[in-house]
């Protein structure tokens, strides 16, 4: 089964667009996640990435990002609630733990953890959609003139991470097919087998690259490919989202403070910005006559 993270050239505007403009388009929503802490704006950015992913056919990549993000979000919220001993609204008081002493869980610590988790989920969705719908070879052609060795590393990661994810799924399927009488196989054993297989594959990849002459330097880049008619729309959308988010943040839109008490701006400007993000994400996919 093909990994959801593997690049799949499904016909569509985002796949047809150039690697640079597609990266700028998706990266603008990741920029929103880094710039803002407001859960309202972050929710708008998350919805925008969902719109982009669904419109480009990266449904499986989005589902995987949400599944992994949900597990990571729970961990972040729990750890922040225990580690952050700040906030005026105490929900659990007097919880004694060895070494750490008395632990108080506040609503503000939970809210801060939830915001951090939502920010990470947005970035994960951007990365997963980018991995599934932007050609990694085109990314390498963009990076190679600047950092040739880094470009090689990037393309190997882009190719081998989906392969490793597929290997893990196959190992898990194989363990489930051993029958009810077989001894259960834990995740640790699966991880060790996956790492061992990855190390063996890395040796084969290194040998293949050496045989193909990569030790003598990469070949010259081919001429520029055909420009897509969608490039302008994605480029303009990405620039507008990035510029609007920076200007709005400098102007104080979308404020959020977790401590000492939760303070959240829900004014008209914040709501308009959050609603405009998914609308902007859908514009490059609209058909023009």
213 lies in a domain? no
71 lies in a domain? yes
Helix (H) / strand (E) containing 48: helix 39-55
180 lies in a domain? no
CA–CA distance, 56 with 193 (Å, rounded to integer): 34
Model pLDDT for residues 31-65, shown as the tens digit of each residue:
999 999 999 999 999 999 999 999 999 999 999 99
Tokens matching residue 35: 């710039």
8 lies in a domain? no
Sign of the CA dihedral with 19 first, then 20, 23, and 24 last: negative
Counted domains in the chain: 1
- Region 230-251: what's the mean pLDDT? 92
> Cis link prior to 80 (omega < 30° from 0)?
no
Model pLDDT for residues 147-163, shown as the tens digit of each residue:
666 666 766 766 777 77
Residue 35: give the domain boundaries: 13-147+229-285
User: Where residue 113 falls among pLDDT bands split at 50, 70, 90?
Assistant: very high
Model pLDDT for residues 243-281, shown as the tens digit of each residue:
999 999 999 999 999 998 999 999 999 999 999 999 999
123 lies in a domain? yes
pLDDT at 231: 87
**CA 93 vs CA 90, 105, 108, 114: distances in Å:** 7, 7, 14, 20
Q: Does the pLDDT value for residue 3 go beyond 50?
A: yes
195 lies in a domain? no
pTM for the whole thing? 0.75
Which has the minimum average pLDDT: 15-29, 143-157, 179-193, 257-271?
A: 143-157
Q: Does the pLDDT value for residue 115 go beyond 80?
A: yes
176 lies in a domain? no
125 lies in a domain? yes
């Amino acid at each position: 089964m093909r990994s959801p993270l593997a690049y799949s050239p499904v016909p569509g505007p985002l796949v047809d667009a150039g690697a640079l403009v597609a990266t700028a388009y998706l990266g603008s929503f990741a920029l929103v996640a880094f710039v803002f802490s407001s859960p309202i704006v972050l929710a708008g950015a998350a919805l925008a990435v969902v719109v982009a992913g669904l419109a480009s056919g990266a449904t499986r990549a989005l589902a995987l990002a949400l599944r992994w993000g949900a597990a990571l979000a729970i961990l972040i919220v729990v750890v922040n609630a225990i580690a952050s001993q700040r906030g005026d609204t105490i929900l659990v008081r007097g919880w004694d733990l060895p070494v750490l002493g008395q632990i108080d869980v506040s609503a503000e610590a939970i809210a801060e953890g939830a915001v951090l988790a939502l920010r990470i989920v947005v970035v994960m969705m951007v990365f997963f959609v980018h991995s599934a719908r932007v050609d990694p070879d085109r990314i390498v052609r963009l990076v190679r003139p600047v950092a040739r060795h880094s470009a090689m590393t990037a393309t190997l990661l882009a190719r081998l991470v989906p392969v490793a994810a597929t290997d893990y799924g196959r190992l898990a399927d194989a363990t489930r097919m051993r029958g009810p009488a077989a001894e259960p196989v834990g995740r640790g054993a699966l991880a060790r087998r996956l790492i061992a297989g990855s190390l063996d594959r890395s040796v084969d990849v290194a040998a293949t690259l050496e045989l193909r002459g990569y030790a003598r330097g990469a070949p010259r880049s081919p001429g520029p490919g055909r420009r897509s008619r969608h490039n302008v729309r994605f480029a303009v959308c990405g620039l507008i989202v990035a510029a609007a988010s920076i200007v709005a943040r400098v102007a104080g839109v979308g404020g959020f403070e977790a401590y000492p008490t939760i303070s959240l701006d829900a004014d008209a400007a914040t709501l308009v910005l959050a609603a405009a993000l998914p609308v902007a994400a859908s514009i490059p996919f609209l058909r023009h006559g």
